[in-house]
């Protein structure tokens, strides 16, 4: 019996390690490219010709479909997975990526990304090239891996979700009808001067149900390291550790707010004394009134009670063989500023 247990343990370990970074087999695979023609900031003009030129025709057959309305990408991805498509590629911004990815959770169809957005949070975390040709070259290599994802009141997210200032700005950004980092930065600066934060009751359900009453500028739950645009809310977060990184920033003003902004771009947010950080599998948040939340930057309004949890290894995705996840560490700018 003891020998059998050892054998079973070894077999399970070997199987896990083997499947974690499994190349596709030699048989021809099918790809569906789902293109959102109006999302993001990058032009998708000429995309079909680029695919025709770059994709490995000896290994892949493909179709290209353009979305026609909100939610269409999710419908196309779900249908594609049901038909047994091997890779479903989101060609667009973070919203398009979320739509496609949420339709693929729990399936054998792998998510691919050709990033064309203003933030490209998930693509950056997965170390994917920002160019169309570079992203397609990664797809040609056919390496896949499995990743965690989160749920906020049963809405899937893959990078971050949250409430407070970031959700407030995301809602204003969506309502503005304008895109791009400069528009977002202006809103952050303008709203940051007058935003006062809110009161929350936060219960970490996998730590005995202890509830903390607190005031916060924002509460972010991160499955991946960044919001997008290399803005690192949880620099050490991993999509393969079975945990969400919870970052709570207390109410801040003036120079303290400026320092937090610098810390986000220098990957040093955890060192800021206005910030608390913990890792959880599930938590419940109660707030006094309905308000804005976001998941992967997509804003919406939810009620007073928010349930957030992690689902381990539920998403299969195409990865960069040279670096599966962004190992975010403070860089030269942080050293220059003596952070």
Q: What is the pLDDT of residues 75-128, one digit of tens each?
A: 999 999 999 999 999 999 999 999 999 999 999 999 999 999 888 999 999 999
Scan for tokens 């247990």, then name that residue.
5
pLDDT at 20: 45
Is residue 226 exposed (0-12), middle (13-18) or buried (19+ Cβ within 10 Å)? buried
For residues 32 and 83, is the Cβ–Cβ distance under 8 A?
no
pLDDT at 26: 60
Q: What CA dihedral angle connects 258, 278, 206 and 95, to 10 degrees?
A: 50
pLDDT at 43: 67
What angle do helix axes 94-104 and 72-82 make, rounded to 10 degrees? 30
Helix (H, G, I), strand (E, B) or coil at 167: helix
DSSP designation for 335: H
pLDDT at 331: 59
pLDDT at 189: 78
Helix (H, G, I), strand (E, B) or coil at 224: coil
- Average pLDDT over the chain reads 87
Which residues of the chain fall short of a pLDDT of 50?
1-21, 338
Tell me, yes or no, if the pTM score tops 0.75.
yes
């Amino acid at each position: 019996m003891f020998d059998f247990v050892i054998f079973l343990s070894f077999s399970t370990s070997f199987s896990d390690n083997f499947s974690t970074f499994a190349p596709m087999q030699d048989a021809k695979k099918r790809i569906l490219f789902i293109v959102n023609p109006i999302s993001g900031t990058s032009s998708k003009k000429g995309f079909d010709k680029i695919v025709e030129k770059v994709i490995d025709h000896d290994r892949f057959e493909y179709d290209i479909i353009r979305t026609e309305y909100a939610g269409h990408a999710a419908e196309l991805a779900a249908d594609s997975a049901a038909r047994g498509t091997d890779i479903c590629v989101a060609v667009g911004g973070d919203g398009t990526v979320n739509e496609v990815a949420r339709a693929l959770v729990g399936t054998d169809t792998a998510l691919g990304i050709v990033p064309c957005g203003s933030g490209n949070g998930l693509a950056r975390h997965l170390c994917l090239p920002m160019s169309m040709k570079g992203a397609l070259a990664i797809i040609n290599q056919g390496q896949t891996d499995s990743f965690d994802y989160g749920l906020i009141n049963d809405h899937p997210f893959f990078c971050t979700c949250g409430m407070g200032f970031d959700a407030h700005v995301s809602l204003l950004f969506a309502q503005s009808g304008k895109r791009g980092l400069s528009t977002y930065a202006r809103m952050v600066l303008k709203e940051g001067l007058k935003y006062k934060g809110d009161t929350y009751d936060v219960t970490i359900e996998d730590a005995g149900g202890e509830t903390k009453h607190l005031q916060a500028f924002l509460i972010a739950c991160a499955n991946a390291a960044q919001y997008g645009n290399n803005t690192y809310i949880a620099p050490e977060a991993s999509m393969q550790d079975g945990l969400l990184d919870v970052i709570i920033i207390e109410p801040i003003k003036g120079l303290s707010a400026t320092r937090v902004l610098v810390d986000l771009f220098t990957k040093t947010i955890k060192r800021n004394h206005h910030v608390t950080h913990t890792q959880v599998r599930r938590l419940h948040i109660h707030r006094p009134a309905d308000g804005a939340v976001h998941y992967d930057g997509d804003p919406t309004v939810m009620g007073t009670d928010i349930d957030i949890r992690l689902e381990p290894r539920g998403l299969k995705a195409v990865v960069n063989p040279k670096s599966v996840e962004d190992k975010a560490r403070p860089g030269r700018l942080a050293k220059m500023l003596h952070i």
